[in-house]
Amino acid sequence: MIHVLIADDHSIVRLGIKQIICSLPGNMHVTEAKTFDETISFIEQQHFDLLVLDINMPGGNNLQMIQAVKLRQPDVRILICSAYEEIMYALGYLQTGADGYIEKNSPDDDFKTAINSVLAGEKYISRAVREQLINKYTKQQDHRPNPFSVLSGREVEVMNLLTKGLPLIKIAEILHLQLTTVSTYKARIFEKTGVKNVIALVEKAQMYQVTSHSGEVVMKV
């Protein structure tokens, strides 16, 4: 029997993912959690082969969620399922220990491929992001060095919230960090990108084409 834990605060999302999982071959047993604290509670109580985890849910919403899960079950496979754009967040979560990343609006067939791949011990990202990664290493890049390419996953998270106009204290609350830590990340971001304020940061992001149609800063890989 394959034990799967779906962690998402929206019941309709959990239902949809559960239906997809139960349609796959094999004996699937699905457990549902609606908060990150509940997720950790289940993880501490029983073994799971796969955790399908939303990165924006009560009690979570940061990269440390992966570490908290892996600390308790190092062998559990983790598939991030998020409404956030994959191009911005996927690599950061994979580097932190996740095994795959898929957007919630992906077709059912992509979900099935992602689940099967992760359960088989493989890493999963969408074809579009995979092709961009291949292009990064096989084609000549823009002659201008891209200062955004050196930002860490956490710095990207902080930068995205900064460019939305959120104050540091709110960013600290959202990411569950100390205010001084967020200030340090902000200073690092400004130093690495060579800007002195948020307005300049947004303008430079636009210049390097690392903004999405929604105006969020995304990493160009």
- Please list the pLDDT of the chain residue by residue as tens digits (221 residues): 999 999 999 999 999 999 999 999 889 999 999 999 999 999 999 999 999 999 888 877 667 889 899 999 999 999 999 887 777 778 778 888 999 999 888 899 999 999 999 999 999 988 777 776 666 656 544 455 677 888 888 998 898 899 888 999 999 999 999 999 999 999 999 999 888 888 888 877 776 656 544 445 454 43
Q: For the residues of 47-111, what is the DSSP string, one character each?
A: --SEEEE-SSSTT--STHHHHHHHHH-TT-EEEEEESS-HHHHHHHHHHHT-SEEEETTS-HHHH
* Cβ contact 72:43 at 8 Å: yes
- Helix (H) / strand (E) element for 7: namely strand 2-7
3-state SS assignment for residue 29: strand
The model's pTM: 0.64
Q: What is the phi/psi pair of residue 50, to 5°? A: -145, 135
Q: Which residues contact 100 (CB under 8 A, 6 or more apart)?
A: 77, 78, 79, 80, 94, 114, 117, 118, 123, 124, 125
| pLDDT, position 145 | 67
At the second CATH level, the architecture of 2-131 is: 3-Layer(aba) Sandwich (3.40)
**Could you confirm whether domain 147-207 is CATH 1.10.10.10?**
yes
The two structure tokens encoding residue 53: 């985890």
Longest dimension (CA), the chain: 56
Task: Give me the residue spans of the domains in the chain.
Answer: 2-131, 147-207
Pairing of strands 77-82, 2-7: unpaired
| pLDDT, position 213 | 42
